Amino acid sequence: MHINKGIANRNLLSDCLSLLPSLSLSLSLSLSLSLSGCSKMGSQDVVSCEGIFVERSISESRIEQLGIRSWPKWGCPPSKFPWTYDAKETFYLVKGRVKIYPNGSSKYIQIHAGDLVVLPKGMSCIWEVNVAVDKYYTFDP
Ligand SMILES: *[C@@H]1O[C@H](CO)[C@@H](O)[C@H](O)[C@H]1NC(C)=O
């Protein structure tokens, strides 16, 4: 639930994509290079974008450690809608694919099935659900 804990001990990479198409190619290129470099070192990476934190493809033991399967579930078909977070939300994407565009930013982040995501309280963003999603979620009090 609190993936920010211990974040200082991990590699923190930026995983923002740019809305400008000419930039996003080189960004994702260097990103995949740095990601593969880090996974070789066997450390667990947390990527971030505009205050959103993501652990990519978390393990079964991480799922159990956080008790994710006891969280409420939510899903929706492909769609696009604005959302504001009144509380910090942590969710685990069981299936689907979504792009999150934080308001006021020219960046976005892509979330895939298997990712654990933390969205900060107060964030407004656009959800673009590209493939129908199912998620377990929880809010910090
Ligand atoms: C965020 O941006 C979307 C699209 O421009 C807008 O519909 C929504 O109201 C914005 N949210 C806030 C809280 O400003």
pLDDT per position as a tens digit, 68-122: 999 999 999 999 999 999 999 999 999 999 999 999 999 999 999 999 999 999 9
Residue nearest to atom 3 of ligand 1 (CA): 82
- CB of 126 sitting under 6 A from ligand 1: yes
Atom of ligand 1 nearest to the CA of 125: 1
Please state which CATH number belongs to domain 7-139: 2.60.120.10
CA distances from 106 to 19, 21, 125, 126 (A): 6, 11, 11, 12
Identify the pLDDT of residue 38.
32
Q: Which pair of structure tokens corresponds to residue 81?
A: 């809608």
Three-state DSSP class for residue 72: coil
- CB of 81 sitting under 6 A from ligand 1: no
- CB of 124 sitting under 6 A from ligand 1: yes
- CB of 103 sitting under 6 A from ligand 1: yes
pTM: 0.78
The domain locations on the chain are 7-139
Per-residue pLDDT of 23-73, as tens digits, reads: 445 445 444 444 433 333 334 679 999 999 999 999 999 999 999 999 999
- CB of 79 sitting under 6 A from ligand 1: no
What's 48's DSSP letter? Answer: E
